[in-house]
Structure 1
């Protein structure tokens, strides 16, 4: 690839992070289905374990197929480094692990995937971590929630389930002022629609299970570091600013600079937490990313048509899609995501909870699944499934009220998507 000019997104999604296999000439990235790697000699092994040389040790830490995927996502996000792991939830744990400790907290948006809310507010308590959920539409509230024990600010670029866009530059400015990193979950947008690092985010996380893979075959996660945060600027982040006993007193921040976070995630996080992505899963996601821009264009086009049709239907109370001029987030969406606000949104159905259940049960083309970002159109009633662990007030704040369904618009013919919704709505509201 040429070094004379930067490559476009469409080219990077096919070529970034990979070269023909040096041993065989294979053009597609091989699936390196191996546990361990032979060292050249004892000195070579020692250098690898001391982080004095880059290479492969054991597939819990690094694997060539998984590494190629991480490098491709890093290139698409415009980061300095990154690593892949076993799921999107694993990516959230891995992203926060080097930053947190007992008694510390994160300030997170209250508009998050229901499973993330549960992870943050319940599971994190077992680590001694606290999550403060705040309305990120109110930057002053975000700033007020940050205290001396805050170690990160967390949000989704397009919040699941309602597809609400976050004002990333505004939140990044608040995070910078407080001297803490901003972590953005970019799953629903993908780097094709939104690049959080360009807007000031420190770290980006993904559930690669969703749009990046795009075909509903594997689970996975990815963490991308911008390389822009100064981990040595204060004593808030001893994982980087203090000597690491497991590596003979190596200070990650001083020794590794912009790559400190990435190396810590691999050498400490994956080593000790073991949230490893398997190489076959990485292979499927690499193939999926090759068509990411094409798929996202169709997802957005279809979502706009379906949302407009739904908004005009008398059987519908509300549509949360930010691509609609009636949306309170329409202007923000155009600024944050000019190529379109994704293909995930919620629909309020007249008749409430019962009508939502009937709608789901009568759809034929749509798949009723706990997933999003597939080429297939998907639907779920969040209040009774993904967000059922929340109380009604929390459900409403998250955009998952009892009278709404979440839909993920696929890449089918939009006329077929609309026809299926039409017949199901007729049955649900009869």
Structure 2
């Protein structure tokens, strides 16, 4: 039977505990698991049998979360890890090698821009940044050493919606995967696999958990990419020395990337999600659709009010009819444009600082996707490490404030914004 999203967000991956009958997924707070015998242990270590060995690799609580997120995204498998940044490295790890590159959107979270522009150089990888709306620029950036295209479905901080269908066609023609960060949209608003994406990553810290309690990341595999179609991805298509010459794609088919993420990625990188964090995220996902509906409803009302406010220069919310990305909402995010956007204040940098300091209901934090309304001045915080040109390209210019609209009463959110804008502009 094909269940609906609201049913799957509660039941996918969750079965009564066979030992106790516990209905909620237990927190399996254990390091290791007892093998039935020596033959069973050998089969697990040889990847001949699926099971639990050591919680750096697999854990029943985490496994339930992996199944739930993969189901909601329409993927074949998922690998959870310790943060969204960890998920990005985990997604690239099987694809990349020294001298290889990835084509990356300029409209990314500031920390992601730093990770791609600076940190991955230490692996011998490189990133070419492009305006993800410029299809010609994407094509020109792809060369023989390109192994993926990376973008966000709904960009952080500006709420820009990427044309995933068009980008996926370019990736297909180049024989490389499209990796989509779906954090800001969640699978309730956007399902990138339906638009041709190969892999999806999330910072589960944000909307999936939804309550600001834990950090976590996940990589979801569509199962649709032919890793053996060329010699570009030897980690998945060629013999793996650590497993006696096993070929992941030949052996595991559509689940090749997922198995590699666990057997190689988590084994050697160790970016493990702890079971208590997985438990919090499982509980958060149970109400995902309800929360996202309210996030969208509030964001539409608040963005519309802000657009007409005399102190506001611009509002970037794609749900507004005035947005240049409004026509993509129905196609890419049919249930709404999310709860994240930016506002540009006419008073510039100083007004932004006064505005943030004057808010009372909003929390000034380096996070988004909480039930609470959150605010941050990206140019002085999350995007501070970027050049002014990079800040502007990422949608985080000095006169811009990022707003994550929560699920409080919209009238209360507007009242708080109104009093803070008044104080910010004297």
Q: Name the TM-score class by shorter chain.
A: over 0.9
Q: Deviations 1:146-183 (Å, cap 9, x if unpaired)?
A: 00000010000000000100000000000000000000
Post-superposition shift, 1:334? 2.3
Normalised TM-score (structure 1): 0.99
Q: Find out whether 1:179 has 2:175 as its counterpart.
A: yes
- Residue number in structure 2 paired with 1:363: 359
- Residue number in structure 1 paired with 2:22: 26
Post-superposition shift, 1:192? 0.1
Q: Find out whether 1:209 has 2:210 as its counterpart.
A: no
- Cα distance in structure 1, aligned partners of 2:158 and 2:128: 21
Post-superposition shift, 1:338? 1.4
- Cα distance in structure 2, aligned partners of 1:377 and 1:82: 30
- Cα distance in structure 2, aligned partners of 1:219 and 1:338: 28
Normalised TM-score (structure 2): 1.00
Greater mean deviation of Cα atoms: 297-306 or 136-145: 136-145
Post-superposition shift, 1:332? 1.4
- Cα distance in structure 2, aligned partners of 1:341 and 1:396: 21
1:257-336 to structure 2, matched below 5 A, reads 257-336=253-332
Q: Secondary structure at the residue paired with 2:29?
A: coil
Provide structure 1 residue ranges, at least 5 long, that are not aligned to the other structure: none
- Cα distance in structure 1, aligned partners of 2:15 and 2:309: 51
1:130-149 to structure 2, matched below 5 A, reads 130-149=126-145
- Cα distance in structure 2, aligned partners of 1:74 and 1:329: 28
Q: Secondary structure at the residue paired with 1:348?
A: strand
- Cα distance in structure 2, aligned partners of 1:26 and 1:178: 48
The one of 385, 394, 402 aligned to 2:381: 385
- Cα distance in structure 2, aligned partners of 1:313 and 1:417: 14
- Cα distance in structure 2, aligned partners of 1:407 and 1:21: 41
Post-superposition shift, 1:18? 1.3
- Cα distance in structure 1, aligned partners of 2:10 and 2:344: 39
Q: Secondary structure at the residue paired with 1:158?
A: coil
- Cα distance in structure 1, aligned partners of 2:330 and 2:48: 46
The one of 402, 406, 412 aligned to 2:408: 412
- Cα distance in structure 2, aligned partners of 1:257 and 1:339: 33
- Residue number in structure 1 paired with 2:250: 254
Q: Deviations 1:90-128 (Å, cap 9, x if unpaired)?
A: 000000000000000000100000000000000011111
- Cα distance in structure 2, aligned partners of 1:289 and 1:179: 34
- Cα distance in structure 2, aligned partners of 1:399 and 1:334: 23
1:31-430 to structure 2, matched below 5 A, reads 31-430=27-426
- Cα distance in structure 2, aligned partners of 1:98 and 1:218: 26
Question: What root-mean-square deviation, in Å, do the aligned CA atoms of Structure 1 and Structure 2 show?
Answer: 0.5
- Cα distance in structure 2, aligned partners of 1:296 and 1:90: 25
The one of 2, 9, 25 aligned to 2:5: 9
- Cα distance in structure 2, aligned partners of 1:227 and 1:338: 24
Q: Secondary structure at the residue paired with 1:111?
A: coil
Deviant stretches of 4+, over 6 Å: none
Aligned residues: 426
